[in-house]
A = this chain, B = another copy of it.
Amino acid sequence: MVTGPTGGYELFYWPSIQGRGEFIRLALEAAGAPYADVARLPATKGGGTKALTAILEGAGGGLPHFALPILRHGSVVLSQSAAILHYLGPKLGLVPDDEPSRLAANQLQLTIADFAVEAHDTHHPIGSSLYYEDQKPESARRSELFLKSRMPKFLNYFERVIEANTAGGGWHAVGSKLSYVDLSLFQMMCGLGYAFPKALARFSPKVPRVVDLRARVAAEPAVAAYLASPRRIPFNEHGLFRHYPELDP
C-alpha cells in the first residue's frame, strides 16, 4: 500500500481510471504488498503520464509493450493483465500452490478478460479511437445484446464455476482461499453494477454465488480498507466500465 518507489512492485497505468489496471491494483492491495502506482506519483518523483509513455516505448528494457498496465518487478517488465496476475499470484499468495489450480486460475482469468472486452465494447463497438458520441446507435444495439445474452452467459458460467468449486463448502472461484480470480470477478461485478445497475439488479437473483462472492471480497479487511481509501479511483466515463443511462433502460 506504499505509494512511493519501493524497490518492490511498480505498476504503470493511467492515473485517473480503474480500467484494466484495477485488476492488478486489487491483487497488490489485497495482499498488502508494497507497490508504487507510478503515474500517480508527482512528476518530481518520477510519476505522471510521462513515465507511462517512457515505459511503453521500452524504457524498462526488454520486450516492447503494446498497452498498459505494465508491472515492473526487479528485472521483470511485463504487460497484459492476465499474464501479470499469473506472475504475481504465487508471489502474493493469491493462487493455490498446486498446478491444476494454477491452470484453472489462468483459464478463468482469461475468460474474465474476454468478459471485460465485451463490457468495454458496449460503449465502443466501432472503434476505441472514436468517442462514444460517435457510435451511440451502434452502442445501443451492442449493449442490448450484451445485456440480453452475453452478460447472462458469462455470469451463469461463473456461477457454475463457483458451484463446482464449492461442492465441499466455501465461496471461492478456485481453491479455498482468496485468489486473484475472486478479486477480478469482484471487480467485474463492481464495474457491471456501475455501468448497468438496472440490468445487473434484475439478473442478480439468478447468480447468487457470484453475488455472494462479490460481497465477501468487499468484506476482506485489506480490500475494504482499499475501497475506502483515496487509492480506489471512482468509476467514471473514461474507463472500461461507463454508465450511460440510455444503455441500461
Q: B-contacting residues of A (Cβ < 8 Å)?
A: 58, 62-67, 75-76, 78-80, 82-83, 86-87, 100, 103-104, 106-108, 110-111, 113-114, 117, 121, 125-127, 129-130, 138, 141-142, 145-146, 149-150, 153-154, 157, 160-161, 164-165
CB closest residue in chain B, given A106: B83
| 9 A-B residue pairings within 8 Å (CB atoms) | A63-B107, A64-B157, A64-B160, A66-B154, A66-B157, A78-B107, A80-B110, A129-B145, A138-B141
Instruction: Answer whether A138 and B164 are a contact pair too, CB < 8 Å, given A82-B110, A106-B86, A117-B117.
Output: no
Instruction: Answer whether A63 and B127 are a contact pair too, CB < 8 Å, given A82-B110, A138-B138.
Output: no
> Is chain A's binding surface mostly helix, strand, loop or mixed?
helix
Cα of A129 to Cα of B146 in the assembled complex, Å: 10
Number of copies: 2
A125 touching B110, Cβ below 8 Å: no
B125 touching A138, Cβ below 8 Å: yes
User: Measured between C-beta atoms, what is the minimum distance from A110 to chain B in Å?
Assistant: 4
A80 touching B129, Cβ below 8 Å: no
A126 touching B149, Cβ below 8 Å: no
Instruction: Answer whether A164 and B64 are a contact pair too, CB < 8 Å, given A76-B103, A106-B83.
Output: yes
B103 touching A87, Cβ below 8 Å: yes
Cα of A100 to Cα of B58 in the assembled complex, Å: 16
User: Measured between C-beta atoms, what is the minimum distance from A157 to chain B in Å?
Assistant: 5
B residues within 8 A CB of A80? 106-107, 110-111
User: Measured between C-beta atoms, what is the minimum distance from A197 to chain B in Å?
Assistant: 22
CB closest residue in chain B, given A75: B100
Given contacts A75-B100, A82-B82, A121-B121, 5 further A-B pairs with CB under 8 A are: A64-B157, A66-B114, A79-B107, A83-B110, A127-B146
